[in-house]
A and B are shown apart, each in its own frame.
Chain A
Amino acid sequence: MRQDPLRHVPSGEVSLRDFWSGACEIAPLAIGVAIYGLAFGFLAAQARFDLLQVGIMGGFVFAGGSQIVAAQRLVADAGAIAAVVAGLALNARLLLVTASIREIYAGRPWWQIALGAHLTTDENWALLLAGRATGRDLGYWYLVGGGMCLMLVWCLATMAGAGFAHAIPDPKALGLDFAFTAAFIAIARSLWTGKNDLLPWLTTALVAAAAIRLGGVQPSWALILGGVAGAGIAGMAHHD
């Protein structure tokens, strides 16, 4: 590893220790990711992804929500462009996530910046911030350790989900086509931060509903329209 004497880059030993701390301490969150991964694998199989594609997508895209949204759009026959646009709209928040910890990538070789940026997710980012809030001196390798652990769990769980899916005869007859709608309802519940969300969320639901039921807009575009309208309302609000 290259050392930059002008920066407080930790020694190899400290890097390794931080890496393992990050990998171990992410475990409780990784269990949640595994469940989510099984669910994605199941959906990906419905979108006719094979095991190789599920594994490669997990490792290269490595953003669960967007993978689920994209697969869901493909299952709904919305087409590849709509799937990509919907997935990327959901990932737009990652810009703020990496931006908020910009200093941990600073002064590092390009491959470490690329690796760290790619491995940044909501979970290990939140864990890093939580650890720092308690006064611990955590940085780049802690984030990377957590990210590596999550990637391993994510790839294995999604592939297991996709493999298991083929054993289920007809998802719709079992009501399993509703699994993701229910999952997103639960995720929305966990993203609810208080009454400041009410107006943006209401706007989102109404715009999406109007677009799909009255405007005859394609569901995948109604989805983007609703999300952007809600975020726009939140942006115009006067509270932070």
Chain B
Amino acid sequence: MTEAWLVILFLTIGTFGIRLTGVVIGQQVLKAGAWARAMRALPGCMIVSLVAVSVLSGGPREWAAGLIATAVAVATRNLPITMVSGIAAVWLLRHLG
């Protein structure tokens, strides 16, 4: 599948470029200030954005399962348990109605 190879190629080039750029630029440029704060916050924001988009692309069942998984994540801070809870919740909600 060509699409997969294209994604692999450009992700490889881009990711290596990002890593190498960090080495070259060095920490003094980005040690502090607005850019550093934004860069530090970006991973968390990207994840939150992905969750928002994924959950909102579904219907009320997915929204409810998202809330349940969030509650489990907050309570347990555990990846496998959160995954199992989310999957079980969405499965139950879809089968119940």
**Bound form: Cα–Cα A12–B90 in Å:** 54
Interface size for B (C-beta < 8 A) is 70
**Bound form: Cα–Cα A230–B50 in Å:** 12
Is the C-beta of A17 less than 8 angstroms from some C-beta in chain B? no
Decide if A178 touches B90 in the complex (CB within 8 Å).
yes
Decide if B15 touches A91 in the complex (CB within 8 Å).
yes
Knowing A176-B87, A185-B86, say if A95 contacts B37 (CB, 8 Å): no
Q: Using Cβ atoms and an 8 Å threshold, which residues of chain B touch A30?
A: none
Knowing A94-B19, A240-B37, say if A223 contacts B46 (CB, 8 Å): yes
Is the C-beta of B97 less than 8 angstroms from some C-beta in chain A? no
Q: Using Cβ atoms and an 8 Å threshold, which residues of chain A touch B37?
A: 234-235, 237, 240
Interface string of B15-27 (1 = CB under 8 A from A): 1101111110111
Interface string of B24-41 (1 = CB under 8 A from A): 011101101011111111
Decide if B46 touches A67 in the complex (CB within 8 Å).
no
Decide if B83 touches A66 in the complex (CB within 8 Å).
no
Decide if B40 touches A175 in the complex (CB within 8 Å).
no
Of the residues A56, A88, A99, contact of B23 by C-beta under 8 Å: A99
* Interchain Cβ contacts under 8 Å between A and B, 11 examples: A65-B43, A66-B11, A74-B4, A83-B7, A84-B10, A88-B14, A98-B22, A231-B41, A231-B42, A231-B45, A235-B37
